[in-house]
Amino acid sequence: MSELLGVAVLGAGHMGADHIRRLDRVVSGARVVAVADPDPERARRAVAGIDGVAVRAEVRDALAAPGVEAVLIASPGPAHEEALLAAFERGLPVLCEKPMVPDPAGALRVVEAEARLGRRLAQIGFMRRYDAEYRQLKSLLDEGGLGRPLMLHCVHRNVSSPPGFTSAMLIDSSVSHEIDAARWLLGQELTAVTVLRPRPSAGAPEGLLDPQFVLFETDGGALVDVEVFVNCGFGYQVRCEAVCETGSARIGEEQAVRVTARAADRRAVPQDYLVRFADAYDREVQAWVDATRRGRVTGPSAWDGYAASVVAGAGVRALETGGRVAVDLPRRPALYG
Amino acid sequence: MSELLGVAVLGAGHMGADHIRRLDRVVSGARVVAVADPDPERARRAVAGIDGVAVRAEVRDALAAPGVEAVLIASPGPAHEEALLAAFERGLPVLCEKPMVPDPAGALRVVEAEARLGRRLAQIGFMRRYDAEYRQLKSLLDEGGLGRPLMLHCVHRNVSSPPGFTSAMLIDSSVSHEIDAARWLLGQELTAVTVLRPRPSAGAPEGLLDPQFVLFETDGGALVDVEVFVNCGFGYQVRCEAVCETGSARIGEEQAVRVTARAADRRAVPQDYLVRFADAYDREVQAWVDATRRGRVTGPSAWDGYAASVVAGAGVRALETGGRVAVDLPRRPALYG
Amino acid sequence: MSELLGVAVLGAGHMGADHIRRLDRVVSGARVVAVADPDPERARRAVAGIDGVAVRAEVRDALAAPGVEAVLIASPGPAHEEALLAAFERGLPVLCEKPMVPDPAGALRVVEAEARLGRRLAQIGFMRRYDAEYRQLKSLLDEGGLGRPLMLHCVHRNVSSPPGFTSAMLIDSSVSHEIDAARWLLGQELTAVTVLRPRPSAGAPEGLLDPQFVLFETDGGALVDVEVFVNCGFGYQVRCEAVCETGSARIGEEQAVRVTARAADRRAVPQDYLVRFADAYDREVQAWVDATRRGRVTGPSAWDGYAASVVAGAGVRALETGGRVAVDLPRRPALYG
Amino acid sequence: MSELLGVAVLGAGHMGADHIRRLDRVVSGARVVAVADPDPERARRAVAGIDGVAVRAEVRDALAAPGVEAVLIASPGPAHEEALLAAFERGLPVLCEKPMVPDPAGALRVVEAEARLGRRLAQIGFMRRYDAEYRQLKSLLDEGGLGRPLMLHCVHRNVSSPPGFTSAMLIDSSVSHEIDAARWLLGQELTAVTVLRPRPSAGAPEGLLDPQFVLFETDGGALVDVEVFVNCGFGYQVRCEAVCETGSARIGEEQAVRVTARAADRRAVPQDYLVRFADAYDREVQAWVDATRRGRVTGPSAWDGYAASVVAGAGVRALETGGRVAVDLPRRPALYG
């Protein structure tokens, strides 16, 4: 194969600029042909050194630029619904960063629009599904050698939360990754959620309920617990242990060089998710480009994006009420079989 | 010091025989002078090769034997209350295996009897407090370098459960170790408990709710979660992670020789708690003998034994009702400061 | 940047076919435009599904094909000298698989030819320099926080050796990787070599001296020891510990999912170098493509390829004689600074 | 069993005082009845609080004290020969700290004296044979599941060397532990030794050749390499990897609590051999007391002590000459089977 897939990137902020760099220099088989950002100067900086990129302020103008064959959405979450629907209208394959659409009602509209098309166009950016360790864990569970999974113990820690981070965002921004990972690893839907709130850490900003401990039940009788702690101070850590009927499997230990010095044997902990999941992002975008060039859509679907929105919404209500909240998910459209 | 402490051992079953061996051959400064067991033949087998041991069927007769200066209770739990009260009457220091008294009302009577004496005589056999790893963890938490503990994540797994093991026993027999360990590590009381029940493992006997996931709240605002899984099939594992404000500390990884062979790098998992905690038992009994010879009483107290009974009782009700059960603990008598 | 670098791949065997796949589907910014292999059928299979590739039997014909801007040499070692010189004649940048040229005299001719050109054209395929762990170790050593490196302890194990593998090949094929890695990590030349020969493993083919233990001295006073064991049976393992004045750093532990089952806690050991170093190969070729498109030559040089040949040659003599053999390396031409 | 074994301890320095404490408070079945030390004040301090101990300046007077049934030698190495022979004369069982006798000729006299007695009386204090990890490794090798051992890779590091420590002492004091461990683990004699000397660390005292890298060959065709580095600065580390025909086994990783904080995941490294081998010393002395009370002599023999002296002597010559030195060991007397 040698023609390059022409991609329009929507959003030229931190994430968008990183994806532009990735499409230009890391991934094989694609080129950036258009960028949309309300701030055209920022967009221009992001494509500096790349020839022939149409820079536009409006999403629709970028999608209409010459050579656009696919779309990568990296704009802020609230802009995703409109961008997805615009891509659907033009029949363009899309890779959409998470959250697909933050509001479950909007997420449902996207699912319904794609279901009306009768074919999948969207892949949602749950990049953990492309992480080498998560994939090994998924394979292990699918092979069944350890028996049925009974529990997932998850840990999700950040050095510190960005300004404006709210208690609800621990659920709908951070834990949303575990929501998707759990659904994918188990092949089960999450049916109820409870949130426990230890007394907040002195390291958390005033008023932020951090850490939280989130419990999910599934329609397969499994239990998923998640420690989410976004001001742990020491590093970015994502761990997962799947406890099965005849064994357990764990991922997320530190993989850096082991240094013995100053009275200790230590491994560095990454400080940032872009470090921990750098390869996962590369593999995710490469897989999307490869599938798209072959006319296929793979990876997490709009339904997965929608389900994550609904479960996260229930989680936020559980946090607010202190009780157990059942998840109310409509029937899955046939398209997402 | 050179006179040996004369010990009466009550109970010559599995645990009692092991303690007799320990007092005779491992621990310094003690000797077994009397044994009580309803089955005198079993008692005689347990003391074979040890000179000058009085073998008795009745507890009171054993306590009255010549040379008895201290008592080690290793009889079945329901027999503990009477044995403790008998030792108290004679003013004998006691090391009592856990559970101190299975029934909270009986446990309270023991506490009250000791409080009336106005001095401590009993040490309860929570041997984890003597495990090297637990002690390191306790020191770390007490030093405060990691900040206040926010959560304890605990795992307690057995290869398989003995015949007759009930769903309630996962709480009041197995998790009772974590109940004491959490109270000790945190220096806090447990105030409420919730038990979650994933669909039981195919490896669990018919009708046994195994595994369970137990959540404790504390009066210091911390959260303690315990996976208890007594038919995991692969080994005996006790792990604990203390998540604090600025760091986390973990114990319970496998410490065996690391073998690389047949396409894997592996460490053996112990199959039995007597292997995992062999050193802890030795240190516990040595510490008790040392303190007793110096006329002191240290280690976990009757109050700790009572508190564990009360919390475990609440846990069993939480298991049965499916809801959150508050722990109702009376005020701690001054004796237990 | 958007024009793709046109690459001629020489050799369409196991390694060549893998590089063709990599250039086509993994690496960004390149395309395969020509392939040379004495077996044109094999060459055709290797480029199936890629448009517009010139398939040739002769190296020179492939280099002359339209669109060739760079060359990747993956033919057998003895064919490398001619291929490198042909590329130099045409002024084409080259990525040449290791060994650059197996015979030191031929390797020197390549160095001299490039020195006459007065500019570097060749990068040698020591892919470990692109492995994430090796790079972390190199950074650590260069930062100097652990002091001067005193010793490198290296382990290089394969499941089994291919047919025809000789005792000398443990040095000049397997250990040649450590030779380059040690020179690169330490920034020192290797000055002498001794080979110790334990009694061969029962798992080694009749007559093969396997394992061997190889000791290198350096012009910086460091010591490098290498266990090479190519029929270890259990996996492919490459480990390295740098012992420095104030600490040690280790790489090469297993990074797979940690599975606890059947009485052990285990991690899988990769069975093949293509698994262990898959990412290193991808990064190596990407770095070469990136540099080449920018008109630069980076990475291990022809001098590095030559030095490895000379040291390996001395190692083979040390193996044969049983004694210490000094390495006689000419002065480094100015081009290789 | 209940009469306590009466032990005379020779030497009341650091090691002697620690053994007195151990016999009094840790080990079961023994009591200290006599102590000899040229400094009677030091001896008195070491036995403070223990009743009925005869304190003597002379070895022979201590051995003649009432109740002496066995001897523990913890005086400086040069005093061992006389003490051992005096104990032999009286037919007293002995536990003698290493080195048995520093000078091979003196060591041989001890072996011959014991051989003349026709029965073993001496156990030599190679405490690693009582370390839990070493014992696991020994069992693994003896079971044979990994095939024949081909190589042992050993590391022996100290924080810093005491004043007066010489280059030869890295061999005959430090590496002597590996000499015994290798002989014991492999069940083979060491037949030749070579010492390599990297440029000394800046952390080593002026003139001390530190680190060194020591290579032993064995009569079973195995190879043993030892990094000895006594001023590594960061901790006390003893590691050993046995590379066998179908797998490798490793001991000596850090076993402390795992702490994740300040951007790293770390385990403490012990700073002192008394920490690392505390349990081994306890088990060693307990095993000696148990065997002695039963009239048996087990553990490392005078022959083992002698062999270690001879090999260490050869090692020192190898260090001085820079070449390979063959070990010349006489035939093993029948007594040592």
Alpha helices in chain C (DSSP H): 14-25, 40-46, 59-63, 80-89, 104-117, 132-143, 167-169, 176-186, 273-276, 278-293, 302-321
Q: Are D124 and D301 in contact (CB under 8 A)?
A: yes
Pairing type for strands A30-36 and A54-56 reads: parallel
- Name the residue in chain B with its Cα closest to that of C235: B263
- Same domain as D326, residue D202: yes
Contacts of A196 in chain B (CB under 8 A): 215, 217, 223
Contacts of C137 in chain A (CB under 8 A): 257
Flag whether residue C202 sits within 8 Å of chain D, measured between CB atoms.
yes
Angle between helices A278-293 and A132-143 (to 10 degrees): 70
Instruction: Tell me whether residues B202 and A151 touch, CB distance under 8 A.
Output: no
- Residue B70, phi then psi, degrees to nearest 5: -160, 160
- Same domain as D192, residue D63: no
Separation in Å, CA of B231 to nearest CA in chain D:
27
pLDDT of residue D186: 98
pLDDT of residue C1: 47
Instruction: Tell me whether residues B264 and C267 touch, CB distance under 8 A.
Output: yes
Interface B-C, measured as beta-carbon pairs within 8 A, has a size of: 51
Contacts of A263 in chain D (CB under 8 A): 234-235, 268-269, 271
Angle between helices D80-90 and D104-117 (to 10 degrees): 0
Contacts of A235 in chain D (CB under 8 A): 260, 263-264
Q: pLDDT tens digits, residue range A146-159? A: 999 999 999 999 99
- Same domain as B135, residue B121: no
Contacts of B199 in chain A (CB under 8 A): 150, 220-222
pLDDT of residue B256: 87
Name the average pLDDT for chain D: 96
Torsion on CA atoms C169, C173, C178, C180, rounded to nearest 10 = 130
Q: Are A235 and D263 in contact (CB under 8 A)?
A: yes
Residue with tokens 């408070």: D25
Q: What single-letter amino acid sits at A335?
A: L
Distance CA D318, CA D315 (A): 5
Q: pLDDT tens digits, residue range A299-314? A: 999 999 999 999 999 9
Residues 6+ apart with CB under 8 A from C46: C12, C16, C17, C20, C35, C37
pLDDT at D2 over 90: no
Instruction: Tell me whether residues D1 and B133 touch, CB distance under 8 A.
Output: no
Instruction: Tell me whether residues D203 and C234 touch, CB distance under 8 A.
Output: no
Distance CA A74, CA A19 (A): 8
The alpha carbon of residue B169 and the mean position of all alpha carbons in its chain are separated, in whole angstroms, by 14
Residues 6+ apart with CB under 8 A from A140: A146, A242, A249, C257, C259
Instruction: Tell me whether residues A153 and B150 touch, CB distance under 8 A.
Output: no
pLDDT of residue C274: 84
Which of A235, A237, C251 minimizes the C-alpha distance to A226?
A237
Contacts of C267 in chain B (CB under 8 A): 264-266
- Residue B118, phi then psi, degrees to nearest 5: 80, 5
Indicate the residue of C234, C253, C260 with minimum beta-carbon distance to B263: C234
Distance CA C93, CA C111 (A): 14
Q: And the tokens for B186?
A: 């945190």
pLDDT of residue D337: 84
Other beta carbons within 10 angstroms of residue D164's beta carbon come to 7
Contacts of C234 in chain B (CB under 8 A): 260-264
Distance CA B135, CA B131 (A): 6
pLDDT of residue D33: 98
Contacts of D253 in chain A (CB under 8 A): 265
Which sign, positive or negative, has the C-alpha torsion C208, C210, C213, C219? positive
How many residues in chain A? 337
Flag whether residue D198 sits within 8 Å of chain C, measured between CB atoms.
yes
Indicate the residue of A233, A264, A271 with minimum beta-carbon distance to D266: A264
Indicate the residue of B233, B253, B261 with minimum beta-carbon distance to C234: B261
User: Mean of the pLDDT values across residues A79-89?
Assistant: 98
- Bond preceding residue B198 cis, omega within 30 of 0: no
Residue A296 vs residues A287, A291, A292, B288, C265: alpha-carbon distances, Å: 10, 5, 5, 71, 40
Q: How deeply is A41 buried, as exposed, middle or buried, from its count of CB atoms within 10 A (0-12, 13-18, 19+)?
A: exposed
Range(s) of the domain holding residue A71: 5-128+279-301
Separation in Å, CA of C307 to nearest CA in chain D:
22
Residue A158 vs residues A170, A230, A256, C82: alpha-carbon distances, Å: 11, 4, 18, 55
SS3 (DSSP) at B105 = helix
- Same domain as D209, residue D115: no
DSSP state of D264: E
Distance CA D135, CA D133 (A): 5
- Same domain as A189, residue A84: no
Instruction: Tell me whether residues B269 and C260 touch, CB distance under 8 A.
Output: yes
Flag whether residue A150 sits within 8 Å of chain B, measured between CB atoms.
yes
Indicate the residue of B211, B217, B245 with minimum beta-carbon distance to A150: B211
ipTM of the complex: 0.94
Beta partners for residue A35, in sequence order? A9, A55
Contacts of D211 in chain C (CB under 8 A): 150-151, 243
pLDDT at C162 over 70: yes
Instruction: Tell me whether residues B237 and C254 touch, CB distance under 8 A.
Output: no
Question: How is chain A split among helix, strand and coil, in percent rounded to 5?
Answer: 40, 25, 40
SS3 (DSSP) at B334 = helix
Q: Are B80 and B103 in contact (CB under 8 A)?
A: no
Beta strand spans in B278-326 (E): 325-326
- Same domain as D76, residue D41: yes
Torsion on CA atoms C5, C11, C16, C19, rounded to nearest 10 = 0
Distance CA C335, CA C272 (A): 36
Question: How is chain C split among helix, strand and coil, in percent rounded to 5?
Answer: 40, 25, 35
- Same domain as C95, residue C174: no
Flag whether residue C235 sits within 8 Å of chain B, measured between CB atoms.
yes
Instruction: Tell me whether residues C237 and B254 touch, CB distance under 8 A.
Output: no
Query: Which chains are adjacent to chain A, needing at least 3 Cβ pairs under 8 Å?
Result: B, C, D
Q: pLDDT tens digits, residue range C3-40? A: 899 999 999 999 999 999 999 999 999 999 999 999 99
Query: Which chains are adjacent to chain C, needing at least 3 Cβ pairs under 8 Å?
Result: A, B, D
Q: Are D298 and D77 in contact (CB under 8 A)?
A: no
Contacts of B253 in chain D (CB under 8 A): 258
Instruction: Tell me whether residues D249 and B255 touch, CB distance under 8 A.
Output: no
- Same domain as B210, residue B100: no
Instruction: Tell me whether residues B251 and D257 touch, CB distance under 8 A.
Output: yes
Instruction: Tell me whether residues B243 and A227 touch, CB distance under 8 A.
Output: yes
Distance CA B285, CA D24 (A): 16
Q: What percent of chain A stands above pLDDT 70?
A: 99
Distance CA B15, CA B96 (A): 12
Find the farthest-apart pair of alpha carbons in chain C and give their distance in angstroms, rounded: 63
- Bond preceding residue B99 cis, omega within 30 of 0: yes
User: Distance from first CA to last CA of chain B, Å, rounded?
Assistant: 30
Helix H or strand E encompassing A247: strand A247-251
- Same domain as A201, residue A157: yes
| pLDDT-derived band at D1, boundaries 50, 70, 90 | very low
List the CATH number of the domain containing B243: 3.30.360.10
pLDDT of residue D274: 84
Indicate the residue of A148, A215, A232 with minimum beta-carbon distance to B202: A148
- Same domain as A315, residue A297: no
List the CATH number of the domain containing A61: 3.40.50.720
- Same domain as B95, residue B73: yes
- Bond preceding residue A99 cis, omega within 30 of 0: yes
Flag whether residue B279 sits within 8 Å of chain D, measured between CB atoms.
yes
Q: pLDDT tens digits, residue range D48-65? A: 999 999 999 999 999 999
Contacts of B237 in chain C (CB under 8 A): 260
Flag whether residue C221 sits within 8 Å of chain D, measured between CB atoms.
yes
Separation in Å, CA of C262 to nearest CA in chain B:
5
Contacts of D192 in chain C (CB under 8 A): none
Separation in Å, CA of D148 to nearest CA in chain B:
13
Q: What single-letter amino acid sits at B68?
A: V
Angle between helices C278-293 and C132-143 (to 10 degrees): 70
Q: pLDDT tens digits, residue range C185-240? A: 999 999 999 999 999 999 999 999 999 999 999 999 999 999 999 999 999 999 99
Number of domains in chain C: 2
Instruction: Tell me whether residues C147 and D201 touch, CB distance under 8 A.
Output: yes
Instruction: Tell me whether residues D268 and A263 touch, CB distance under 8 A.
Output: yes
Indicate the residue of C233, C266, C271 with minimum beta-carbon distance to B266: C266
Angle between helices D176-186 and D302-321 (to 10 degrees): 120
Give the strand order in the sheet containing C54-56.
C54-56, C30-36, C5-10, C70-73, C94-97, C122-125
Residue with tokens 């979450």: A77
- Same domain as B177, residue B164: yes
Separation in Å, CA of C3 to nearest CA in chain D:
42
Separation in Å, CA of D71 to nearest CA in chain B:
18
| pLDDT-derived band at A3, boundaries 50, 70, 90 | confident
- Bond preceding residue A76 cis, omega within 30 of 0: no
pLDDT of residue B1: 47
Beta partners for residue A160, in sequence order? none
Indicate the residue of D29, D250, D279 with minimum beta-carbon distance to B258: D250
Pairing type for strands C94-97 and A325-326 reads: unpaired
Which residues 63-102 on chain C approach chain A with CB closer than 8 angstroms? none
Q: What is the DSSP string of A126-167?
A: -GGGGSHHHHHHHHHHHHTTT-SEEEEEEEEE-S-PPTT--H
Distance CA B66, CA B69 (A): 9
Residue A322 vs residues A197, A213, A310, C116: alpha-carbon distances, Å: 8, 12, 18, 77
Q: Are D167 and D208 in contact (CB under 8 A)?
A: yes
Q: Mean pLDDT, consecutive 10-residue segments, chain B of 337 residues? A: 86 97 96 97 97 97 98 97 98 97 96 97 97 96 96 98 97 97 98 98 98 98 98 96 96 91 93 91 96 96 97 97 95 92
- Name the residue in chain C with its Cα closest to that of B260: C234
